[in-house]
Structure formats: C-alpha cells, structure tokens
Structure 1
Amino acid sequence: FKTRQAVSCPIYMVMLCSGISLRHITVEKSEEMRTLDLDKWKSKQQDSSSLDATRDLVAMWRQAGKLVPQEMTEEEVQTLAGLTTKSSRKKYLKYLAIKEGHKRARKEKQQQRKAEREASMETRRGRDSDAEEERGPELKNTLFLQFWGRTLDKHLAWRSAQAMLFDQPLVFDMSYESNMARRELENTVSQLMEVEGWNRRATEPYHLHFCNLQADGAYQNELLKRYGAEAWDRLLITSSDQQHVDLFPREQLVYLTADSPNVLRRYDHSKVYIIGALVDRSIQSGLSLANAKRLNLATARLPLDEFLHWEMGAKNLTLDQMIRIMLTFKETGKWEEALKFVPKRKYDGFHQQQTQKEITKKVRGVTNPGPRQMKGL
C-alpha cells in the first residue's frame, strides 16, 4: 500500500499543481469522440440519403412510364448516384433497362426451349419404352458422353498448358479503361471471354497475355465477376500489371492497329503481336496507333483493302474475330483463308471473286444481247 501511494502521489500532486483535473480530461476526450462519431454519422447519412433519393427518382420515373429497369443492384444505384447530369442518368437507366430486357428475353427463350426439350424427351421416352418392349433393353450412351466431355476438357487444358510453355505469345493490351464507357468495357470483357474460348479450342493455340491489367481495376473486376474467382485462377493465361515492353524485347513486338500505314503481308512466328483490348463505339481513330508510337513500337494493319471490297464504315474488327483471323493465318499463312472470319455484311466479296463476277456479267451480256444489240446486228 505504501509503494502504491508513493508512486501515485507525485502524479496527483503534479495534476493539482498544474491545475488540471481528471474530470476535465475525461470531458474533453468524450467531447472529441462525440464530434468524430457525429462527423462519421453525418457522412453516412448523406451517402444513404443520396442513394435513397436516387432510388426514389428511379421509382418516380418508372411510375411516369419512362424506360428504366425494374430491378437495380447496389453497385448500379451507386453508379447512377455518381452521375451529375440528367441526360447521363437517362442514358444509363435506358442502357440498364435494355440490358434487363435482353436478359429477360434470353431467360424466357431458355425456359421455352427447356419446356420443348422436356416435351420431346417425354415423347421419345414413350417411343423408346414401346420399342424396348419389342426388342429388349439397350445400353445407353450417357456415361460415355460424360466421359468424352471430361476427356475433351482435359485434352484442351493440356494443349493450353503446352502453349504457355512452348508456343508463340499473343498480347492483349488492357490499358484502355479510361477510354471506354461502362457498356463498352462490358462488351470488351465479353469478347475477351470469346477470345479465350476460341484460343483454347484451336489446334495450335497462342500463349495469351493480358498486359496492363491493374489489380482492382475495371477490367479485373469485370473479369472476376464473369468468370468467378476460382475459374479465373485456373484460367490458362498469363495476366500481369506490367506493360508488354517490360515482358518482351521491344524489337519483337508488333502492335496491330487499323490506323497503321504498314500492311502485314506475311506471318512471322518470331514476333509478338499486340491487340488493343478496346471496344470503341465512338471511333476514336488513332488511339492505339498513338499508344504504339509513344512506346516506339512497330505497327501493322491487316490487308483488308488488298483482299476485300470493303463496303462502308471503319475497318475495326471485334476481338473474337481478330483471334480467329490470327489463328487461321498462323496455321495456313494465307490471308484468303484467314479473312473469311470478317463478317460478310462489311464487304462485298474478295477482289478475285469480284473480278470473276464482272467477267461473268460481260460474257452474259455478249451471249444474251439486248434489243439495242439485236438492232445493230
């Protein structure tokens, strides 16, 4: 007891001498904590009130008969609340409503197909049961099909793993987040998933590289949302937040862009081709070319004008079309085979086919002369 008193007495005496009371210290600390808690509470109330106001606005527009979605996620509400102008909010809500309509239509089609499939299976079961009574039971192939499906998946996975070790790299540049709207970025990720699927099923797949893929970025979050964390980790591709110039020698890199003045005449297996992961609906011409020039990289474009009678519009192709073109060109070395994956609505045949059509028309014009030609005869 004496020891405790000896230790605590000087402290108490110092407090008395300096005029500081213990109650005063406690009151100041409690007031400070109360002020901090109040500020946090106010910020939370403001955030929640803005989200509630946004939800009320959407409900009011829905009752007014405007094109808005029936359901919205918390992330979509936060995105809408961050938009400042009325026109941008209307456009975003219209996009969500159209997207929701497409999703609902797909679901209805799936349910309709499922009902038709079940009806046909019931009909087939009835026929099979009638036939089985006549000829006896048979061994069904369900187990074989399941075994075949698993074996095929393992075979494709093994081929992709071999490509990661020995085959030619193909780089997708993921540095265009700030150049796209939300809808364009979602379309880009959808096309990248198609790219991975076509490459995995190819006879000689590429070793796919997703470069400039920032952690917690828009690309990364959307890919994780589509694939799921486990499937994304098992995906046989290489993703990196580094630039392609940091992973490969600069002299091996060739950036494929529609704005390049250089034409890709022949396939070079020693090069590393780069494709910009970009869906550009606003047609920002020269964007990927400027990116390549800034890094002092060689550029090339596909010989679309040299082989195709291009009808109209910009010569931009989707990412899944590009991977099929590059896989075929890599395998055959012939642009005539590779450019068959360009959508036919964009061009009016190959140059050679067009020349044959003109010759045929001329020959028909001579063999079947018109009235004026008959008068001349």
Structure 2
Amino acid sequence: MMFLRSCSLAVRCSCFRKPRITVRPFSSSWTARKDASENALNLDVWKSVMRSQALQEESKSLNPSMLEASRELVEMWHQAGKFVPKNITDEQLEALAELTTKSAKKKFLKFLAIKESYKISKKEKQERKKSESEADEVFSRKEPKNSFLLKFWSRSMDCLHGWRVAQGMRFGQPLVYDMSYDQHMSRREMENTVAQLIESEGWNRRATDPFHLHFCGLQPDGAYHRELLKRYGAHTWDQLLITATEHRHVERFPQQDLVYLTADSPNVLHTFDHSKVYIIGAMVDRSIHSGVSLANAKRLKLATARLPLDEYLDWDCGAKNLTLDQMIRILNTMKDTGSWQKALEFVPKRKHSGFHQQSRGVTRTTKSRFIQNDSSEIPARVQSHRKNKTDRHQKQETTKIEKRL
C-alpha cells in the first residue's frame, strides 16, 4: 500500500511541472534553405560584376595596342620623310585610329603637322618679341627719356575696353550669333568657327560702341561649348562679358525686331537700323551649302537681309559669304559712321576689283582696266576727224623743223 501511494504522489508532482519547449527539426531546415537562397543570389550578382570588370579590362587592354600601332605608323611615316607632326597626343592618336582609309589618315596627319608648324612659328615670334621688348626695356633704363605725357599701360586699356563692353551689355544694341549649325559642320569647320567667334569678340571689345553679343542656342556640353571652353578656358569663359544661353533668339527677342543676315537673302540692307536685332549664323561651310541659313530664317518666319555687296563693289570671284570677324567689323563701322563705303573696306580685296562710282546716274567702275579701246565701235566721221587732226599736227611739226634748219 505504501508503494502505491508513493507512485501516485510522483505522478501528481510531474503534472504540476512546467512543460518543455521543443524545437522541431523542420524550422531549422527552413532557415538553412533561406540562407542558402540568399547566398545563391549574391553569388549571381558577384558573377555579373566580375564579368563586367573582365570586359572593361579587355577593352582597356585593346586601346593601348591600337594607340601603339598608330604611334608606330606615325613614326614610320616620319622616317620616310612624309609631312607628319613630330609630337602627337593620345587624343589625336585615338582620332587617327578611328579613321579607316589611308588617304584620310594622311590628310589628318597633314592637318596636324600644319597646325604644329603654326604653333612653333607663333611661339618663335612671341619669344623674338619678348627678347626685343626686354632689350628695349634695358635700353630705356640706361637712357631715360624726358616726356610730359604719362605712359599708358596695357592694363589700363584693357580696363577701358572692359568698361565699354559692360556698358554695351547694359545699354548697347544686341547682336545675336545663331549657334544651331553644329550638325552642318565637320570638326575642322567647327574649330574655324570658334576661332572666328573669338576674333569677333576681340574686335567687338575694341570697338567704340560695342554690341551686346548673344550666343543663342549654345547647348551645354555641345560641340560649340566644348570648343569654346577648350580655347578660352573655364575661368576666362565664366568672366567673359557676353550672354551665352541655350534658348533660341525667337524666345529672347520680339519676332518683329529680328533680322537674319544671310548672303542668300533677296532683300538688300540699304540702311542700318539701330532698333533691330541682327542675327548672324555661326557657321563656316567650306562646301558652301547655299540656303541653309535662309531656310532656317524662313522656317522661323523671320525677316532676312544681305549686305549690299553688288551695289557698292565690282565683285570678281568667290562666294559672298564673309567670315564672322569681317561681319562684325562691317557692322560696327556701319553703326558708327553710317557709310557703306567705309564699312565695306573690310571685305577682302582679292574678291573684288574696287568700288562703284555714282556719277550723273551712271554706274562706272573706278578701275580703267575693264575699259576697252575698240575702234570698231567709233563712228567713221570721228575716225576721219582724228586722222585729219594728227596729219595737221605732223605737218606743223615738219614746218617748224624746216624753219629751224
């Protein structure tokens, strides 16, 4: 009996104890599967990254070989006596490697050689001028000159030009350069265009009453913008006293005030209007695609005009498309003087043979080499009169000689 009671007490005590928590093996296997799936996903990403890095390394390994091949080709042509540059950069080698034909490579290397020779001659000229100026300075220090005038320093002139351009930006007449022709030009033509734009900005800066220059349609990081930053430099470009915008000219000025200057226009600009905004296409086109700027102006429904070249000049040869620096010099002179005779003096002399002279309503050229002395067009009565006159003059001369004898 005592044994049965002890067994029943042991059973009752076990019922009042806390239940044990057991972890099923299914939950541990599920977490393991989840970790394995995450590791597999990360492995795929890692594989893709490694493949992309391998491709980049292969492309980088190909570029030096192409550059070295191009460099060896330039060196071989240099030793053969061909006209190639002595020093060539990696960018120029990449551009050379992109060319497919031999003739294109020869032309590109010839262009680089000519450009390099210009730079060398310019550098030599600058060094010569510097040495001459240093010699003059030493001579002036040795022998001082007495003068009642103060020396006008170059920085003072630069400050004066800056103030004039600043006044032109605030009160001057706007002049717009249309920068929407980058797709119509090659790389060399783009470089020439930017060089002419820099020259135009310099001539406008030195003018008595400068224009307020607007570079309209200048897209950021475009062909024009990259070349301008390359020529000017970022610091100088930011301090330049012009208005450069990516908006078009029709968005900044009233349409009735805009006049597009193009050589293909049928309208002649007889008088310079100070209230108008003249537009010049920033384009250098060696193949001369006629009508591009005129079509652009007609598409925007703008008034067009051309310079009176035929009305004032006896044109000989060549197209009537002038450079950008010639155009701004003509417009500045016309704005200051109002005389086309003075303004068109900046047209190159090789293209025309002189100005016309307006005398008694008849247009005659100033040069006499175009006047032909054709006796077939002279009447017979005039010819006989001239003959009798010469005969009479000869008889008089013979009688004088006989009297002297």
Q: Please indicate, yes or no, whether the TM-score normalized by the shorter chain is above 0.5.
A: yes
Deviation at 1:25, TM superposition (A): 5.6
Paired residue for 1:200? Answer: 205
Cα 1:26–1:343, aligned 2, differ >3 Å: closer, same or farther? closer
Q: Deviations over 1:203-248 (max 9, x none)?
A: 2111100111111112111111221111111111101111111111
Paired residue for 1:217? Answer: 222
The separation in 2 between residues aligned to 1:323 and 1:265, in whole angstroms, is 17
- The answer as to whether partners of 2:204 and 2:210 remain within 8 angstroms in 1 is yes
Paired residue for 1:85? Answer: 101
Q: Secondary structure at the residue paired with 1:171?
A: strand
Q: Secondary structure at the residue paired with 1:205?
A: coil
Q: Deviations over 1:315-340 (max 9, x none)?
A: 11111110011111112222112111
**Which range moved further: 189-198 or 12-21?**
12-21
**Which range moved further: 247-256 or 13-22?**
13-22
Q: Secondary structure at the residue paired with 2:152?
A: helix
Q: Secondary structure at the residue paired with 2:357?
A: helix
Paired residue for 2:327? Answer: 322
The separation in 1 between residues aligned to 2:339 and 2:88, in whole angstroms, is 49
With normalisation by structure 2, the TM-score equals 0.78
The separation in 1 between residues aligned to 2:170 and 2:331, in whole angstroms, is 19
Paired residue for 1:159? Answer: 164
Cα 1:166–1:139, aligned 2, differ >3 Å: closer, same or farther? closer
With normalisation by structure 1, the TM-score equals 0.83
Residue type of the partner of 2:100?
T
Paired residue for 2:283? Answer: 278
Paired residue for 2:65? Answer: 49
- Residue of structure 1 aligned with 2:78, choices 54, 62, 81: 62
The separation in 1 between residues aligned to 2:146 and 2:367, in whole angstroms, is 55
Identity score, percent: 55
Deviation at 1:10, TM superposition (A): 8.9
Name structure 2 gaps, 5 residues minimum: 1-21, 359-363, 374-381, 394-405
Q: Secondary structure at the residue paired with 1:258?
A: coil
Paired residue for 2:176? Answer: 171
Paired residue for 2:235? Answer: 230
Deviation at 1:161, TM superposition (A): 1.6
The separation in 2 between residues aligned to 1:12 and 1:98, in whole angstroms, is 78
From the CA coordinates, give the structure whose radius of gyration is larger. Answer: 2
Paired residue for 1:299? Answer: 304
Alignment length (residue pairs)? 355
Residue type of the partner of 1:74?
D
* Higher share of residues assigned helix: 1
- The answer as to whether partners of 2:179 and 2:218 remain within 8 angstroms in 1 is yes
Deviation at 1:15, TM superposition (A): 4.8
Cα 1:268–1:44, aligned 2, differ >3 Å: closer, same or farther? same
The separation in 2 between residues aligned to 1:43 and 1:111, in whole angstroms, is 44
Q: Secondary structure at the residue paired with 1:352?
A: strand
Paired residue for 1:3? Answer: none
User: Once superposed, what is the RMSD of the aligned Cα atoms?
Assistant: 3.4
Residue type of the partner of 1:145?
F
Residue type of the partner of 1:212?
G
